[in-house]
C-alpha cells in the first residue's frame, strides 16, 4: 500500500535531479547523478533506489512520482521522431510548408526555413469543407479517407497520423468522423486530431501542433510505458504524474495522448519551484534563474505566479530568432532559454579568432574535461574549477572527483594558447562571455515586458546557477539574490510543489457587442467539465478546483490579440463594461496607451483549471533565530574575480548554516549539489527558510 512520500524527478541534459518529501516525518532528501542519455530511466531508477535507501523507505512507501523530461523537445530538435502522415482539406496540402509567408530575416538571401515534420509525399488531401461558421459546404469524402490512410499505412509504413481539416476548431465533426474511419481500419495506429490537441483559430499553427504531437507520440509513449514497467519491477505501486509545459501536473494518460504539452516540461518545473520559494520568502517581483549543465532559463515571476503564454516555437533554425521554428499552440511558462550551462563548450571561432561559449554542450557524455569521461574541449564548469569556484574534492559531495590538472592542460593547449593568454585569464574570459550572454538575454526578456531588472530579486538555482548568480546580478544591477537550500536540485522540488493544473481553450470569433453569449457559456461549461475530469485523474480534489477564465481580445483589424481576465464563466450583456475595462487595463499594461473608440473582438476563450499544490516546509519557517550569529568556515581557498584578481575566500558548509547567521563576501558556500559564489562587497544572511540572501552593495 502506497504511503504519503513523493519524489520529483527532473531529467536534464547533463544531470538527473531528485527530491523526496515525506510529510509524515517532515523529511526532505535530495539526489543528483549523471543522466544516462541512451536510456534516461536507468538514472531515474538508480537515483530513486538510492534516495529511498538514504531515507529509510521502500518503493512501496511512495504515494507518487512526478516526472519531467526533455525528451519531447529533444525529439523535435534532433528530428528523431516518428514517420508521420497528415490528412488535410483538399487544396491545403502545402499549408504547413507555406506557413505565414513571413521571412524571419528580410535580408538573408540564403534564408533557411524550418522543415515541416511531415514531408510532402506523406501529406494527403481529403475532399470535404466547412466554412468559418462551421456550416458544411461539401460533405466529407469518407472513401477518400479510407483510401489515403490505407496508402499511408501499408505503402508508406507511417507510425502515426495527424488529421487537420479547415475550420475544425469551429466544428470538429469532419475530423472526428475521419478519426472513426481510421480507428476502425487501424486501431493500433497513433492518431492526433487537431481539434483535440489545439482547438483554436489559425490553421497553420493548429496543423503544425497536430503534426508535432503525432511526431513525438510513439517515442514518448514507449518511454513512459518502459518507465512504468521499470518502476513496477522495483516495487513502486503508487501514481506516476508528469509536469506539463504550463507548470501543472497531469496524469500519464494525458501525457501519452498529448505529449506535445510536455515540450517545456523540465524548465517549467524550475519556474514553479522559484514561484514557491518567492512566496515563502515574501517576494513579489522575482527573476527566476536556473542554470544547469546545458542551458540557462530566466523567467519573470510576479506576485508568486510565473508568466505564461499560449504559443511556443520548437526546433528553431536560428536559436533565439522568432519565426525560425515550428509554431505550437500549447500553454507554456514564458521564459527565455539560452545555451549557457556548465557543459557549454568554449572554442575559438574560425575566421574571426574570437572566443565563443556555447550553445553546443558536452552534456553528460563525455561532459566537461574535468569529469575525466573523455571530454577534451574546455567548458564553463572547467573554467569555474580553474578559477577556484569549485572544490575538485567536493563535487557532488565528494562522490565525483574533478581533475584540475587535466583542465589546466586543456586550456593551456587549446583556447589559451590560441589567444596567447594564461589559462586562468582564458577561463576568466569564458566566465565573462557566458555571464554576459545570460545578462543580455535577461535584459531583453524583461525589456519586452516593460520591466526594469533593478526592481527585482534574483532567485538562483540549478547546479551552476549559484556559481554565476553574483556576477549575473552585478551585470543586471540587481541588488538582492536568494539561493535556496538544495539549489542544485530545485527544479525537482518544482515537481512536488506544482499544482494539478491544465489550460483549456476554444475559439469563437465575434465582436463583443454581437456575441452569442449562450454559445460562449456553453464552451466554458464544456471546458470546465473536461478540466475537472483531467484534474481528478491527476489526483485533485474536485471541490478544491479553481477556474480562471480569460479571453484573447483585440481591436478589430489588429493582427494579434492579448489575454484578458474575465469576470466569470457565465457571461452576458451585463458583463460588457467589466470586460471592456479589463481589456483596456491589459492593453495599457502591454502598450502604455489605449484606444477606447475602436470596436473589440474576441478570438479564443480560455479556462485555467487548477487545484492547490502540496505545501513543503523548508527550514524553520519562522524568524531569525540565532540573530547575528557568525558561522565558522571549514577551509579557505583563492578565487579569481574579474577586476579583483585572486582573493582568499572562506568556505562555509551549507548544512551548518542556521537562520540568522551572517557573513561578508568574498566567500564560498558549498553543498552537495552546488556552490554559491559570493563576491566582494556583499552581505549574506540566512533567513528562516534556510535561504541564503545576498545583498550587493
Q: What is the 3-state secondary structure (H, E, C) of 634-691?
A: CEEEEEEECCCEEEEEEEEEHHHCCCCCEEECCEEEECCCCEEEECCCEEEEECCCCC
Percentage above 70 pLDDT, the chain: 98
> What is the per-residue pLDDT across 534-586, written as a single tens digit (0 to 9) for each?
898 888 888 999 999 999 999 999 988 999 999 999 999 999 999 999 999 99
Q: How far apart (Å, rounded) are the C-alpha atoms in residues 195 and 166?
A: 10
- The pLDDT value recorded for residue 618 is 61
Are 357 and 243 in contact, with CB atoms under 8 Å apart? no
In this predicted structure, the answer to whether residue 671 has a pLDDT above a threshold of 50 is yes
- Res. 2 pLDDT band, cuts 50 70 90: low
Cα gap 449→434, rounded to integer Å: 23
* Position with higher pLDDT, 370 vs 596: 370
Write down the pLDDT at residue 620.
45
Among the listed residues 683, 474, 28, the one whose alpha carbon sits nearest the alpha carbon of residue 692: 683
pLDDT digits (tens, 9 = 90+) for 209-243: 999 999 999 999 999 999 999 999 999 999 999 99
Is 60 exceeded by the pLDDT of residue 95?
yes
Residue 491 near residue 273, CB atoms below 8 Å: yes
Q: What burial letters (b/e) apply to 672-684, b meaning 16+ CB within 10 Å?
A: bbbbbbbbbebeb
Distance between CA atoms of 336 and 691, rounded to whole angstroms?
24
Greatest mean pLDDT among 152-156, 355-359, 366-370, 557-561: 152-156
pLDDT at 3: 63
- Can you give the residue ranges of every domain in the chain? 5-76+222-262, 81-215, 344-431, 501-610
Q: How confident is the model at residue 121 (pLDDT cuts 50, 70, 90)?
A: very high
CB atoms within 10 A of CB 691: 22
Query: In the structure, what pLDDT confidence band is assigned to residue 315 with cuts at 50, 70 and 90?
Result: confident
The pLDDT-based confidence of 84 (bands split at 50, 70, 90) is very high
Per-residue confidence (pLDDT) for residue 481, from 0 to 100: 98
Q: How confident is the model at residue 619 (pLDDT cuts 50, 70, 90)?
A: low
Separation of CA 444 from chain center: 18
Residues 107/280, Cβ–Cβ less than 8 Å: no
Q: For position 439, what pLDDT does the model report? A: 96
Average pLDDT over residues 491-504: 89
pLDDT confidence of residue 275: 93
CA 324 vs CA 81, 181, 228, 321: distances in Å: 20, 36, 36, 6
Which has the higher per-residue pLDDT, 433 or 395?
A: 433
Domain 5-76+222-262 has CATH 3.10.20.10: no
Distances (CA, A) of 231 to 239, 295, 383: 10, 29, 38
Contacts of 487 (CB under 8 A, 6+ apart): 460, 461, 462, 465, 466, 671, 673, 674, 676
CA–CA separation, 453 and 443 (whole Å): 7
Question: What pLDDT was estimated at residue 621?
Answer: 41
Q: Which helix (H) or strand (E) holds 448?
A: helix 423-448
Distance set, CA 219 to CA 83, 214, 243, 560 (Å)? 11, 10, 17, 34
Q: Per residue in 407-430, pLDDT tens?
A: 999 999 999 999 999 999 999 999
Q: Is the pLDDT at 666 greater than 70, yes or no?
A: yes
Contact 532, 545 (CB under 8 A): yes
Binning pLDDT at 50, 70 and 90, where does residue 398 land? confident
Mean pLDDT value of segment 432-441:
95
> Would you state the pLDDT for residue 106?
86
Average per-residue pLDDT for the chain: 91
621: left (phi over 0), alpha (psi -120 to 50) or beta: left
**How confident is the model at residue 1, as a pLDDT?**
40
pLDDT at 393: 92
**pLDDT above 50 for 626:** no
pLDDT at 322 over 90: no
Q: Is the pLDDT assigned to residue 624 strictly greater than 60?
A: no
Q: Find out whether 452 and 446 touch, Cβ atoms under 8 Å.
A: yes
pLDDT of 142 higher than 70: yes
Ramachandran angles phi, psi of 208, nearest 5°:
-60, -40
- In a 13 Å sphere around the CA of 693, the CA atoms on its Cβ side amount to 18
Q: List, in order, residues 6 or more apart from 598 with CB less than 8 Å away.
A: 555, 556, 557
What pLDDT is attached to residue 551?
96
Residue 481 burial class via C-beta count within 10 angstroms: exposed 0-12, middle 13-18, buried 19 and up: buried
Q: Say whether 441 sits in a helix, a strand or coil.
A: helix
What is the reported pLDDT for 107? 87
Of 303 and 140, the structure prediction assigns the larger pLDDT to 140
R_g of the chain, CA atoms, integer Å: 26
d(CA 467, CA 486): 13
Check residues 503 and 624 and name the one with the higher pLDDT.
Answer: 503
pLDDT of residue 623: 41
Grid coordinates given for 661: 547567521
Of 249-258, 333-342, 452-461, 620-629, give the lowest mean pLDDT range: 620-629
The backbone torsions φ and ψ at residue 113, rounded to the nearest 5 degrees and listed phi first, read -85, 150
Which residues, 6 or more positions from 351, have their beta carbon under 8 angstroms from its beta carbon? none
Is there a contact between 16 and 67 (Cβ–Cβ < 8 Å)? no
| Percent of the chain surpassing pLDDT 90 | 69
Where on the phi/psi map is residue 164: left (φ > 0), alpha (ψ -120 to 50), or beta? Answer: beta
Amino acid at each position: 500500500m502506497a504511503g504519503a512520500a513523493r519524489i520529483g524527478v527532473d531529467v536534464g541534459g547533463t544531470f538527473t535531479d531528485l527530491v523526496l518529501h515525506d510529510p509524515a516525518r517532515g523529511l526532505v532528501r535530495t539526489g543528483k547523478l549523471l543522466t544516462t542519455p541512451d536510456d534516461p530511466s536507468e538514472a531515474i531508477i538508480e537515483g530513486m533506489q538510492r534516495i529511498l535507501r538514504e531515507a529509510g523507505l521502500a518503493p512501496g512507501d511512495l504515494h507518487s512520482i512526478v516526472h519531467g523530461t526533455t525528451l519531447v523537445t529533444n525529439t523535435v530538435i534532433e528530428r528523431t521522431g516518428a514517420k508521420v502522415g497528415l490528412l488535410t482539406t483538399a487544396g491545403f496540402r502545402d499549408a504547413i510548408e507555406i506557413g505565414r509567408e513571413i521571412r524571419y530575416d528580410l535580408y538573408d538571401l540564403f534564408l533557411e526555413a524550418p522543415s515541416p515534420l511531415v514531408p510532402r509525399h506523406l501529406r494527403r488531401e481529403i475532399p470535404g469543407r466547412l466554412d468559418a461558421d462551421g456550416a458544411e459546404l461539401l460533405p466529407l469524402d469518407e472513401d477518400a479517407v479510407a483510401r489515403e490512410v490505407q496508402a499511408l499505412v501499408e505503402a508508406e509504413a507511417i507510425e502515426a497520423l495527424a488529421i487537420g481539416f479547415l475550420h475544425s476548431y469551429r466544428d470538429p465533426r469532419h475530423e472526428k468522423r475521419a478519426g472513426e474511419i481510421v480507428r476502425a481500419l487501424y486501431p493500433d495506429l497513433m492518431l492526433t486530431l487537431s481539434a483535440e490537441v489545439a482547438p483554436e483559430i489559425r490553421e497553420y499553427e493548429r496543423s503544425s501542433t497536430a503534426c508535432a504531437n503525432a511526431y513525438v507520440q510513439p517515442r514518448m509513449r514507449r518511454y513512459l510505458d518502459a518507465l512504468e514497467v521499470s518502476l513496477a519491477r522495483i516495487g513502486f505501486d503508487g501514481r506516476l504524474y508528469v509536469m506539463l509545459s504550463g507548470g501543472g501536473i497531469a496524469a500519464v494518460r494525458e501525457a501519452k495522448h498529448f505529449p506535445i504539452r510536455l515540450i517545456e516540461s523540465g524548465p517549467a518545473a524550475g519556474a514553479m519551484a522559484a514561484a514557491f520559494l518567492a512566496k515563502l520568502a515574501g517576494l513579489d517581483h522575482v527573476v527566476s534563474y536556473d542554470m544547469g549543465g546545458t542551458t540557462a532559463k530566466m523567467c519573470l515571476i510576479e506576485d508568486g505566479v510565473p508568466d505564461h503564454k499560449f504559443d511556443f516555437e520548437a526546433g528553431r533554425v536560428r536559436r533565439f530568432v522568432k519565426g525560425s521554428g515550428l509554431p505550437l499552440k500549447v500553454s507554456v511558462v514564458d521564459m527565455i532559454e539560452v545555451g549557457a550551462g556548465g557543459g557549454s563548450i568554449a572554442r575559438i571561432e574560425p575566421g574571426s579568432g574570437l572566443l565563443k561559449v556555447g550553445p553546443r554542450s558536452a552534456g553528460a557524455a563525455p561532459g566537461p574535461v574535468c569529469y575525466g569521461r573523455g571530454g577534451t574541449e574546455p567548458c564553463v564548469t572547467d573554467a569555474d574549477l580553474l578559477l577556484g569556484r569549485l572544490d575538485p574534492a567536493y563535487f557532488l559531495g565528494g562522490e565525483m572527483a574533478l581533475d584540475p590538472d587535466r583542465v589546466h592542460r586543456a586550456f593551456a593547449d587549446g583556447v589559451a594558447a590560441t589567444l596567447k593568454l594564461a589559462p586562468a585569464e582564458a577561463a576568466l574570459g569564458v566566465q565573462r562571455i557566458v555571464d554576459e550572454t545570460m545578462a543580455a538575454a535577461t535584459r531583453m526578456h524583461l525589456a519586452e515586458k516593460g520591466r526594469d531588472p533593478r526592481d527585482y530579486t534574483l532567485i538562483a538555482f540549478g547546479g551552476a546557477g549559484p556559481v554565476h548568480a553574483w556576477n549575473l546580478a552585478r551585470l543586471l544591477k540587481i541588488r538582492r539574490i536568494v539561493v535556496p537550500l538544495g539549489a542544485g536540485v530545485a527544479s525537482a522540488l518544482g515537481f512536488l510543489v506544482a499544482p494539478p493544473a491544465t489550460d483549456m481553450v476554444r475559439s469563437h470569433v465575434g465582436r463583443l457587442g454581437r456575441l452569442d453569449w449562450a454559445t460562449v457559456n456553453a464552451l466554458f461549461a464544456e471546458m470546465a467539465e473536461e478540466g475537472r475530469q483531467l484534474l481528478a485523474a491527476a489526483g485533485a480534489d474536485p471541490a478544491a478546483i479553481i477556474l480562471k477564465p480569460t479571453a484573447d481580445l483585440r481591436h478589430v483589424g489588429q493582427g494579434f490579440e492579448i489575454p484578458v481576465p474575465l469576470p466569470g464563466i457565465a457571461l452576458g450583456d451585463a458583463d460588457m463594461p467589466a470586460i471592456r475595462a479589463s481589456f483596456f487595463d491589459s492593453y495599457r499594461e502591454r502598450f502604455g496607451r489605449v484606444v477606447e473608440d475602436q470596436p473589440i473582438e474576441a478570438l479564443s476563450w480560455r479556462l485555467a483549471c487548477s487545484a492547490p499544490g502540496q505545501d513543503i516546509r523548508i527550514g524553520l519557517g519562522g524568524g531569525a533565530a540565532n540573530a547575528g550569529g557568525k558561522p565558522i568556515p571549514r577551509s579557505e581557498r583563492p578565487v579569481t574575480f574579474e577586476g579583483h584578481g585572486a582573493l582568499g575566500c572562506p568556505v562555509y558548509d551549507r548544512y551548518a548554516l542556521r537562520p540568522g547567521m551572517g557573513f561578508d563576501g568574498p566567500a564560498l558556500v558549498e553543498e552537495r549539489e552546488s556552490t554559491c559564489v559570493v563576491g566582494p562587497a556583499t552581505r549574506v544572511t540566512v533567513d528562516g527558510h534556510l535561504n541564503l540572501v545576498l545583498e550587493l552593495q
